[in-house]
Chains A and B, each alone.
Chain A
Amino acid sequence: MTAQHLKVAMPTGSNNEVGKTTLYAVTRSTEKFRIFGRDNPTVGLFTTSDRGKTWQHWGWHYTKCFSATIEPNSDGKIIYLACGNGVQKSSDSGKNWVITTGWEMTECLKIAIDPENTETVYAATAYGIFKSQTGGQNWQEKNRGFESTFTPDVVVDPHNSQVIYAATEAGIYISTNRAESWRLLGLQGKGIRTITYSSHTTGTLLVGTEDDGIFISTNSGETWQAINDGLESLTVYCLAQDPQHDRVLYAGTFRGGVFKSIDGGNSWKGCNTGLTRLDIHALLVDPTDSNAIYCGTIGGGVFVSEDAGANWRFGGLETSQVWDLTMQY
């Protein structure tokens, strides 16, 4: 499992037709974009079980939603959405939703769940990290140690859930006490957009940045190395690792499309054949089929590759800004 999947899914053997997977897409807006979500009925959470041929909407239509996280071992029943309104939670696979947060939390961007104790949930927001130890019923602000509280991503160390990583606009931060306090781990001053913990190698982290490309650490973040050879855009919104092949990585960029590395990030090559939008905000490798890659574009919906990124076809949600993709398998 990739770190991305650690955040979201466990096998279910559910009723999927292709690869026994369900893809979840969170769309932020469409061409009818309104900054506050007005007149915009096609936003929110969608799922497909046939690789993008058909989609089903779940939950609120008119909302500002940034990402979805599925609770491990919940069989896809428990879903968290990080939204402008706060954190929404469904305990019945998306049929009904509760706003778990009050007025104190807004502009929530990402959710991470402690795999050892799924009642412990972290929300990365525009105002910092919030933590719940009650499955979202109560939240506490956990920003001690941050220089900047704009945190677009948060990841729980899959091998030690005491350790949490947070992406901030001022570098990557680490907490070794379940978010009670934070310290700068590295990449000071760089806007970190996304964090991926390697599913193959303990202590290996990859981050995508606002303007500085991709960095890798193989020692749990103590040192970092830029790995941008061949990368034509240094704004990296998303990263994905092939769950079967540890050297195969994918990066989604602003204006550059998708890049693929087959040597662990030492070199990158664009793989955009068939992509009609090159602003990529979400990437996912099907954990059951390394050839099946999904990308969410800004304004162009979802694209699907069934040959490991060599070619892409349109996968639905036309004109949508697809901010996040995740999978239940």
Chain B
Amino acid sequence: MIIRCNSCKYSFLILFVILMESMYPLTPLPGGKALAREGSITEQYGQRCQQLFAYADSTNEPNYFVAAAKLSRKTDIATGVRMIEELLSDPTASGRGMFVIYELMAAYLYGFEKIPPELRRKIRESFRTRPLYRGDTENHWVMYYTGLYLAAQTWKGYDGDSWYTGKSSGENFREAEGWLNEWIKITTTIGQGEFDSPTYHMVFLSPMLVLAQFAEDPVMKKRAEMMVHYLLADFAAEHLQGMYCGAHSRDYPYDAIEPGRAPMTGWAWLFFGQTEPVMRTEVFAAALSSYRMPEIIYHVATDRSKPYVHTETKRVRNIIRFNKQRTPPVHKYTYMTKNFCLGSMQGGILQPIQQHAWDITFVSDKPNNSLFTLHPSVSERELGMFFPEEMKFVVDEVARFHTVYGKEDKWASSSPYEQTFQHKNTLIVLYNIEDGAKFEHIDGFFPKALDERVYESFSRNSPLNSRWIFCRAGDTYIAYFPLQPYEWIEEENCWRLRSHFLRNGSIVEVAEATDHNSFKEFQEAIKSNSLDVERFERNLEVGYTNLAGDRMSFTYAGQRLLNGNAIDFKSYKLFNGPFLQAEIGSGTLEMKYEKMNLFLDFNNP
């Protein structure tokens, strides 16, 4: 078992642990079928929790959740107390306030009985003397207001002099409650803003689990539990063998090229169990709690017996400059099979810095299970859209924290010059890079883990069907048609496809190996498909008929036509697939799997 606690990125996030059953008996979840009744799935979940607890018992590295585990399970009270005392004295905690506040409250509430009175007083006092920064992203606020809600609930009746905010307990509570309710409402009606992130999804799950565990108000408690269902279901529908697939609002470059090692894989392991036990310590938030995932979500995450299309509507992070619409919609399209997922969002700047607009994620016994392209965009305008700092130097500032942001070879980018059109297993991606953009090339990540990579030299004079690049990754076949000449750059973990043309793009078709007699036969079949790229150079217009016979026509900044019919993003629901259904504005989510179903209604929790 591997335990990861990426200290450079998440020294602040960390974990927690506890044998909840002893303190908090299992309670049925709202509208859900508790896994506790299900036998083997529950037993396996319990075994994985025990692996987490074993880790908690074995480590002495200060961490609020580990401390909570040691205290509540009474395995090492002295060390748990020492950890909390040490963390309370951390001089950097204020700036990391949004991370600290809910972790501290989790430790306090889980470990309450074993925390000595003097330490309890110190913890209380810290809420008077130590300012805690609220942060500036959606996950920051979920963590911050969860922590403030629980703190204000715990220490009722204190006046403003007793809180770092200068507000009374009641004022703090109402503020936190107000925002949490607003976030739940927005998320379940127009979509999450910081959505489907292989890294950050966990810091929505984690505070919601703590809130569900400790909120005294039964309505808030139920809403939080339902949000955990909601967030897990959102993940489950785009989950494949431990990997968070498709397009993401925020993805770190190293996770984009190795999705099986992203933080959410730890959550997949705990809840779905389909991966090696590569754990993130953050998942202790779940293991400690009395929360039990409804069985239906397990099946949504793991049944890949039939290919399916799943679409979602999310929203762009708040835009403060250069757009009259504060949070425009994001339209996601995901095609899932047993061995691969092809996913995309429509393109353009939909999130700052870490956008991952499309990819193929495939099952393989090798690392680097993804293939995608991007334009490495860097612009003060992009950052100015989302950050209030001065645009002229915000690029340099962001690059200090996200060190790859300004680099030409980065593997995460939100480009205003990229657009996609996907239908099931086929994707067209077009680029129209502005002359003078900082980087005037596109890059493609072709992992070395590919079992085969077959291509001929690109020549403008050669037949179109000779330009295809064919890849085999386990039981997945990939056909990639580059619209412009390119070069291969060999790197440690990939062959980088780089193409230096402003007008650029590709056509991608992916298939299950079992749908073809051989990799060779797949190649020949693809080569016989109809390609129309004559108007690409002039009009950025491409047409392609895939193996299923579906005709896709796509013009950059123009129409997306499927068999002659225009795609209308306005028809997208919040969730639309065989497992999940939700209308825009509904405040509901309906889950279906065979004869099972679960309906979440946030309007009437």
Contacts and interface: CB of A to CB of B under 8 A. Distances in A.
B400 interface: yes
A16 interface: no
Contacts of A150: 320-321, 388
Interface residues of A, number: 45
Nearest to A169: B321
Given A62-B92, A96-B166, A107 B137 contact: no
A34 B133 contact: no
B95 interface: yes
Nearest to B160: A98
Contacts of A33: 397, 400-401
A213 B324 CA distance: 25
Contacts of B391: 210
A107 B390 contact: no
Interface in B62-96: 91-92, 94-96
B179 interface: yes
B131 interface: yes
Contacts of B390: 237, 254, 281, 298
Contact of A64 (B136, B160, B324): B136
Interface string A159-198: 0000000000100000000000000000000000000000
Contacts of A298: 390, 393
B97 interface: yes
B165 A99 contact: yes
B175 A35 contact: no
Interface residues of A: mostly helix, strand, loop or mixed? loop
B134 interface: yes
Interface stretch (A38-46, A50-58, A111-119): A38-46
Nearest to A31: B400
Interface string B302-320: 0000000000000000101
Given A84-B134, A150-B321, A169-B322, A99 B166 contact: yes
Interface in B374-397: 387-393, 397
B167 A98 contact: yes
A42 to B, nearest CB: 11
A15 B97 CA distance: 36
B320 A62 contact: no
A35 B388 contact: no
B204 interface: no
Contacts of B160: 98
Given A36-B133, A85-B134, A169-B322, A60 B94 contact: yes
A259 to B, nearest CB: 16
A257 interface: no
A216 B290 CA distance: 65
A172 B401 CA distance: 33
Interface in A120-178: 126-127, 147-150, 152, 169
Contacts of B53: none
A38 B182 contact: no
Nearest to A102: B175
A106 B166 contact: no
B92 A107 contact: no
Interface string B129-161: 001011111001100010000000000000010
A235 interface: yes
B26 interface: no
Contact of B133 (A64, A126, A149, A281): A64
B351 to A, nearest CB: 14
Given A39-B95, A41-B91, A103 B322 contact: no
Contact of B178 (A35, A102, A126): A102
A112 to B, nearest CB: 17
Contacts of A106: 134, 136
B117 to A, nearest CB: 27
B398 interface: yes
A97 B400 CA distance: 31
Interface in A201-252: 210, 235, 237
Nearest to A63: B133
A103 B178 contact: yes
B162 to A, nearest CB: 12
Nearest to A28: B389
Interface in B171-208: 175-176, 178-179, 182
A62 B178 contact: no
Contacts of B140: 36
B136 A84 contact: yes
B131 A107 contact: no
Contacts of A96: 166
A255 B96 CA distance: 32
Contacts of A281: 390
A298 B389 CA distance: 11
A252 B339 CA distance: 58
A294 to B, nearest CB: 19
A148 B397 CA distance: 25
Nearest to A128: B320
Nearest to A66: B388
B133 A84 contact: yes
Given A38-B96, A61-B94, A254-B390, A103 B136 contact: no
A72 interface: no
A99 B229 CA distance: 34
A253 to B, nearest CB: 10
B141 A103 contact: yes
Contact of B388 (A40, A61, A107, A237): A107
Contacts of B165: 98-99
Contacts of B145: 103
Interface in B318-370: 318, 320-322, 324
Given A36-B133, A64-B136, A103 B392 contact: no
Interface string A13-43: 0000000000000001100011111111100
A34 B11 CA distance: 15
A39 B392 contact: no
A132 B55 CA distance: 52
Nearest to A88: B166
A37 B95 CA distance: 6
Contact of A148 (B91, B166, B321, B387): B321
A286 interface: no
A152 B387 CA distance: 12
A103 B320 contact: no
Interface string A268-305: 00000000000101000000000000000010000000
B320 A127 contact: yes
Given A103-B179, A107-B320, A279 B131 contact: no
Best-surrounded residue of B98, B133, B179, B401 (most CB of chain A within 10 A): B133
A109 interface: yes
B94 A62 contact: yes
Contacts of A34: 95, 401
Nearest to B400: A33
B241 to A, nearest CB: 33
A99 B95 contact: no
19 contacts: A34-B95, A34-B401, A36-B133, A38-B12, A38-B96, A61-B94, A61-B95, A62-B131, A63-B94, A84-B136, A85-B133, A97-B131, A98-B160, A103-B145, A109-B388, A149-B320, A237-B390, A255-B392, A298-B393
Interface of A: 28-29, 33-41, 59-64, 66, 84-85, 96-99, 102-103, 106-107, 109, 126-127, 147-150, 152, 169, 210, 235, 237, 254-255, 279, 281, 298
Nearest 4 pairs between A and B by C-beta?
Answer: A98-B166, A62-B95, A62-B94, A103-B179
Given A39-B96, A235-B392, 18 more contacts: A29-B397, A33-B400, A36-B98, A37-B95, A38-B12, A38-B95, A63-B133, A64-B133, A64-B136, A85-B134, A102-B179, A103-B176, A103-B178, A148-B321, A149-B320, A150-B321, A210-B392, A298-B390
